[in-house]
Amino acid sequence: MWLPRDGICRALTQTCGAVPTRPSDCHGPSRNSDLFKAGVDFHGVHDWSVFLTERPYFGNLALRRPDAEAAIKLAWESSPDAYVSTWKSRVLLIHGDNDRNVPFSQTVDLVQRLRAQHVPFEQLIIPDEIHGSGGGETG
């Protein structure tokens, strides 16, 4: 069990679920480790800025918006990765390695960041699973 039994009732944990419009499950533990003693992240986006920086304009700079730099900064500041330096809460990361909606690299990157900060975590990687990890064709 990844969360000690004696602390489970006292710990305020973040709930998990797949709602396409909500921010990453890691926002609570990453920004408020004093309040969220543990968390569960289910195929979450941990760095929103990559969606604005990794080939968003298909090489055509004429398509780049004038406020692109401000948007990238805001996307980073809205990401759990931006708060790893103060993150203390343990977290369970769940992700299918064949997710076509949220790149699996999002979880790989977060794991590396958490390790560097000595944040306790567990990971459940589901082989060949797509987004949703419900056993069916969900996304």
What is the per-residue pLDDT across 113-132, written as a single tens digit (0 to 9) for each?
A: 999 999 999 999 999 998 86
Strand order in the sheet with 38-42: 38-42, 90-96, 121-126
Q: Indicate the pLDDT class of residue 25, thresholds 50, 70 and 90.
A: low
Domains of the chain: 5-126 (3.40.50.1820)
Share above pLDDT 90 across residues of the chain, in percent, rounded to a whole number: 39
Q: Where are the alpha helices (DSSP H) in 1-139?
A: 5-8, 27-31, 50-53, 68-77, 105-116
